[in-house]
């Protein structure tokens, strides 16, 4: 039995909707299925506007333009994140300032944010790791006190909540990912969530190459033209057709993912009690979305040993981020606020288990046997 780390699941309507998109001969961006996806997001979420993008990376880059960062500006964010979180702001000439993460939630340590703020600070980018969040009330209060923007990198947080509020909708702007590894997917894809009315008009413009094309199609102007900076940030409508079917099945997907998360949480309970690993901690204010299941080993050697053992049995757990502050580009374009010991330790010890919709009972039984056999030798 060979079990990969991730595998996409396709329901029947993905094929039907993509075929329909092709038969309509409307496969450009912002076609009928893109509009369906926008409407679905705007009905589900308390946002002013939702806009599909080719990736979460593209959504972050649009957000960086919208908040007007530039040379001399600093943006506070965690180092334990994907490169796109920082890249979006570096491309505008701003400097990411990396702070450490909380050892429980693995999100940005809100107690460190206040100390990292200076006269150059323009904003904060919290990353909702594994579909959980930091204490957003504290973070948002800091942002308000210092007149800072908040862009939520909610790439992993579709259908996750903070005190009953959907992640991605609490800051000025939010971003989602629909990459193949995410809960709902279209292979590659993302969304920009606009939570302030002041940003809506410009968000449409910069997404449409800096033109007022969307206003033209709504009949608000008699012709469209170049009015601002922007980029081509529209996915094709066939991509949106695939995604719309995934949206329709989100309750089914989430039910299965929570079952898998609970399976792993039960499986590793014994080994946490014995001191071999630590399991995820879900803060009381969060409702997570079962995006992934990770455990923390005691050191790099133990994690490597476990990965090697599993791979020899054709099961593929993986580690996650190399911290941005220690990367070549991070050192060149960013700055580090103090030491980041938690980030460094988590990078060396965190392990993600195989996690996808099609993991069945036989797969789970096989994984459980391997985990138990491994820890018998410890």
For residue 239, give both structure tokens: 């991509």
Give the alpha-carbon dihedral of 136, 142, 144, 145, to 10 degrees: 160
- Residue 214: strand, helix, or coil: helix
**Backbone φ/ψ region at 159: left (φ over 0), alpha (ψ -120 to 50), beta:** left
pLDDT for 217 equals 84
In 3D space, the residue among 82, 83, 126, 86 whose CA is nearest the CA of residue 108 turns out to be 126
Encoded tokens for 47: 């946002």
pLDDT for the residue 377: 86
From the list 182, 167, 193, the residue with the least C-alpha distance to 41 is: 193
Return the closest-CA partner of residue 321 out of 361, 352, 286. Answer: 352
In CATH, what class is 12-248?
alpha beta
Would you state the pLDDT for residue 331? 97
Residue-level length of the chain: 378
| Distance, C-alpha 325 to centroid of its chain | 19
Q: Are strands 161-162 and 95-99 parallel, antiparallel or unpaired?
A: unpaired
Closest CA to 154 of 164, 166, 165, 144: 166
**pLDDT at residue 196, rounded to an integer:** 96
CATH for 250-376, among 3.90.1150.10, 3.40.50.150, 3.40.630.30, 2.40.50.100? Answer: 3.90.1150.10
Q: The tokens of 176 are what?
A: 């989602």
* Predicted confidence pLDDT, tens digits, the chain (378 residues): 899 999 999 999 999 999 999 999 989 999 999 999 999 999 999 999 999 999 999 999 999 999 999 999 999 999 999 999 999 999 999 999 999 999 999 999 999 999 999 999 999 999 999 999 999 999 999 999 999 999 999 999 999 999 999 999 999 999 999 999 999 999 999 999 999 999 999 999 999 999 999 888 888 999 899 999 999 999 999 999 999 999 999 999 999 999 999 999 999 999 999 999 999 999 999 999 999 999 999 999 999 999 999 999 999 999 999 999 999 999 999 999 999 999 999 999 999 999 999 999 999 999 999 999 999 988
Domain segments of the chain as ranges: 12-248, 250-376
Sole residue written with tokens 């909702």: 128
**Gap between the Cα atoms of 343 and 14, Å rounded:** 39
CA distance 149 to 342: 26
Output the six-digit token pair for 105. 């939630």
């Amino acid at each position: 039995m060979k079990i990969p780390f991730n595998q996409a699941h396709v329901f029947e309507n993905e094929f039907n909707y993509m075929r329909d998109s092709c038969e309509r001969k409307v496969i450009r961006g912002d076609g009928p299925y893109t509009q369906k996806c926008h409407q679905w997001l705007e009905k589900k979420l308390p946002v002013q506007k939702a806009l599909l993008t080719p990736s979460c990376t593209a959504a972050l880059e649009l957000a960086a333009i919208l908040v007007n960062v530039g040379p001399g500006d600093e943006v506070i964010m965690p180092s334990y994140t994907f490169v796109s979180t920082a890249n979006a702001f570096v491309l505008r000439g701003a400097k990411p300032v990396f702070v450490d993460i909380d050892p429980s939630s693995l999100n940005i340590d809100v107690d460190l944010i206040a100390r990292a703020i200076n006269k150059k600070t323009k904003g904060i980018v919290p990353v909702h790791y594994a579909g959980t969040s930091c204490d957003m009330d504290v973070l948002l209060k800091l942002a308000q006190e210092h007149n800072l923007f908040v862009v939520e990198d909610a790439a992993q947080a579709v259908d996750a909540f903070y005190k009953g509020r959907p992640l991605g909708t609490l800051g000025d702007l939010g971003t989602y990912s629909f990459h193949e590894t995410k809960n709902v997917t279209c292979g590659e894809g993302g969304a920009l969530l606009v939570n302030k009315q002041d940003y809506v008009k410009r968000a449409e413009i910069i997404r449409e190459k800096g033109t007022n094309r969307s206003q033209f199609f709504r009949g608000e102007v008699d012709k469209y033209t170049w009015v601002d900076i922007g980029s081509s940030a529209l996915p094709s409508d066939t991509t949106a057709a695939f995604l719309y079917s995934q949206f329709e099945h989100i309750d089914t997907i989430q039910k299965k993912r929570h079952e898998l998360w609970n399976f792993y949480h039960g499986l590793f309970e014994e080994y946490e009690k014995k001191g071999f690993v630590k399991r995820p901690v879900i803060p009381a204010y969060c409702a997570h979305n079962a995006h992934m299941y990770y455990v923390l080993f005691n050191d790099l050697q133990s994690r490597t040993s476990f990965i090697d053992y599993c791979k020899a049995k054709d099961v593929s757990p993986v580690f996650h981020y190399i911290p941005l502050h220690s990367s070549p580009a991070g050192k060149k374009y960013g700055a580090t606020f103090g030491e980041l010991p938690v980030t460094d330790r988590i990078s060396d010890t965190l392990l993600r288990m195989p996690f996808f919709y099609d993991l069945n009972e036989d797969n789970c039984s096989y994984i459980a046997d391997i985990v138990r056999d491994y820890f018998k030798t410890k």
